[in-house]
Structure 1
Amino acid sequence: MQLVLTVLEITAPVAVLALIGFLWVKTGHEYRLEFVTRLSMTLGVPCLIFTALMKTTIDPKALAALSLAALVGYAGLTALFWGLCRVLGLNMRTYLAPLIFGNTGNLGLPLALFAFGEAGLGYAVVIFAVMAVLSFTFGLWLVAGGGSPMRAVKEPMVGATLLGALFLWQGWQTPVWITRSLDLVGQMAIPLMLITLGVAIARIPPQGVFRAVWVSLLRVAICVAVAWGAGVWFGLEPVALAVLVLQLSTPVAVTSYMLAEKYGADAPQVAGLVIISTLLSVVTLPLTLAFLI
């Protein structure tokens, strides 16, 4: 019961802020989607990623072992979800990246801390760093529909992720006044993204919601199986294995919607995946944690 309440406490703000965006549009107010998207993706999110990585202390041995397991896990998810999209006729640009990359930051990190303590949080941050690099390079390439890899490299989020990883690796810290400034900028990212998400939800057709339900359920089963297989293959100790399974099975990340909006994929469909998978996680994540614990 405590796990269910914890997940509800973490996911409730997602629903509340999305509802604000939904009602804002439905009541006829103006919402400049392009401006908010650009502000979030080029300023807010990069600051959020950099400060999160810089402030985390990582055990070098855990970083090496778990990073390899996470890379193999994401490679497996990529192969399986690519095949699933082909079989079901789902658009690759719209569905593939959101299916691969979950909400390992806002949802995965707090859950790992609650379930497994400081050790679990350390492992969770390693996976978050791996996901961030892959999501904002390979994931961007998928959503953008191919093109030159330099298109992804020039993305501010990629630079923030790599710079944050460098600071994490070297144990560096920015001066206090810079860190606090970056924190303030980064804190605006999540509320803006969630409100914008609610705006997109207002445009989702009924069939989009139905599809999001069964795709989200199928996604959870595949993610748990792949993460478990990767962890066992690398012989991870129990807590590291549990955190790997937890992180890879988190619901679709809000940033997936923002990338779809920015690069012209079917953003309302992705928004449906974000909301439905997050709501389903109230049930699926406690069940997964109960199995792992």
Structure 2
Amino acid sequence: MILLPQMFMLFMLMTVGIICRKTGLMDDRISKGMSGIVVNIASPAFILSAGINKDEVVTNRQLLACVIASVVIYLGLILISIFIPNILRLKKNYFGTYRVMTIFSNIGFMGFPIVSATYGDVGLLYAAFFQFPFNLLIYTYGIRAMRSGTDVDFDESFSWKNIINVGVISVFVSLLLYMTHVHIPEPIEDVVSSLSGLTVPMSMMVIGYSLGGMKLKSLFEDYKLMIFSALKLIVIPIISVLLMKLFIKDQILLGVCFVMIATPVASMSAMLAQYYGGDEETASRGVALTTLLSVLTIPLVGAICL
């Protein structure tokens, strides 16, 4: 139950976000601004902090194993996503939305904070490697999947600017600093550390704010979405970890891979659905429902598998 204290902390921070919405301390404008700060400032600083002035405790072989694991995991999720709509017997217009929800998890807003709190800087360095395939796939395969059944030209939306963004750049810079042992002056390190400290509370409050606007009863009445949530949060993580145990002996890397898979549906799923003709309502409900359930499923499934 190593993940239970961390999940309890995150749940309490989400509760603060809900309270802020109910009391009017936060509105859509503030929430959007906080999201921008997390994505463009706090989260990159969070990643950089894993590589600044750290003694080398991860070998090149371990880093290579992490890269291979991240690629294999995303390939596996893409394969699973092909079958999910048929398992749930969905109408064709829902296929793209459910495929995207299957593949993409909330690794930035929830995954990184959980990994950092549970596995420290080494775990965070591993987790950072998942950001590049996430960005690459969500702006290519994710858009294509959401557009299934539409007549919009795929190539119009492709942009390397979206894939090579501040988050991905911070991954490379953090790795470079870690491997070259370049010493960063202490005042700069303190600034990066202070900014990185904003990631966990602000991201959880934004998630809580979003949940505060949902009619929670309606989330649990969609039985297909409930079955999907069980598959994404319980079945897929358990099977994945059992398979990975056959090949991965590094317990920190195994734990990071579990968190990357077991986190709830990425909020980007709802944004893609809105912009590219997917089912925005289902995607938004999927984000909300899996986020709520993950508070219980992540520590419970982790206790079973790890």
Normalised TM-score (structure 1): 0.74
Q: Which residue of 2 aligns with 1:80?
A: 80
Secondary structure (helix, strand or coil) at the match of 1:106 reads helix
Q: Which residue of 2 aligns with 1:51?
A: 45
Deviation (angstroms), 1:149: 7.0
Q: What runs of 5+ residues in structure 2 fail to find an aligned partner?
A: none
Q: Matches of 1:212 and 1:49 in 2, distance apart?
A: 30
Task: Map residues 94-105 of structure 1 onto 2, 5 A cutoff.
Answer: 94-105=97-108
Q: What runs of 5+ residues in structure 1 fail to find an aligned partner?
A: none
Match of 1:167 among 165, 173, 180: 173
Report Cα offsets for 1:146-177 as digits up to 9, x if no partner: 7117534343x642233223212322879949
Report Cα offsets for 1:27-77 as digits up to 9, x if no partner: 9xxx768x976x677775233443333332283432211111121111111
State the percentage of identical aligned residues.
22
Match of 2:110 among 107, 111, 118: 107
1:89 partner letter:
L
Secondary structure (helix, strand or coil) at the match of 1:123 reads helix
Q: Matches of 1:121 and 1:178 in 2, distance apart?
A: 18
Sort the Cα spacing of 1:100 and 1:217 in 2 relative to 1 into closer, same or farther, 3 A.
same
Secondary structure (helix, strand or coil) at the match of 2:155 reads coil
Report Cα offsets for 1:78-122 as digits up to 9, x if no partner: 111221114422513322122212222333334334444554444
Task: Map residues 184-203 of structure 1 onto 2, 5 A cutoff.
Answer: 191-192=205-206, 194-196=208-210, 198-199=212-213, 201-202=214-215
Farther off after superposition, 268-277 or 40-49: 40-49
Conserved 8 A contact 2:266-2:287: yes
Conserved 8 A contact 1:137-1:152: no
Deviation (angstroms), 1:130: 4.1
Sort the Cα spacing of 1:182 and 1:150 in 2 relative to 1 into closer, same or farther, 3 A.
farther
Do structure 1's residue 288 and structure 2's residue 295 form an aligned pair?
no
Do structure 1's residue 225 and structure 2's residue 239 form an aligned pair?
yes
Q: Matches of 2:85 and 2:266 in 1, distance apart?
A: 19
Count of paired positions: 284
Q: Which residue of 2 aligns with 1:212?
A: 225
Deviation (angstroms), 1:209: 4.0
Q: Matches of 1:291 and 1:152 in 2, distance apart?
A: 41
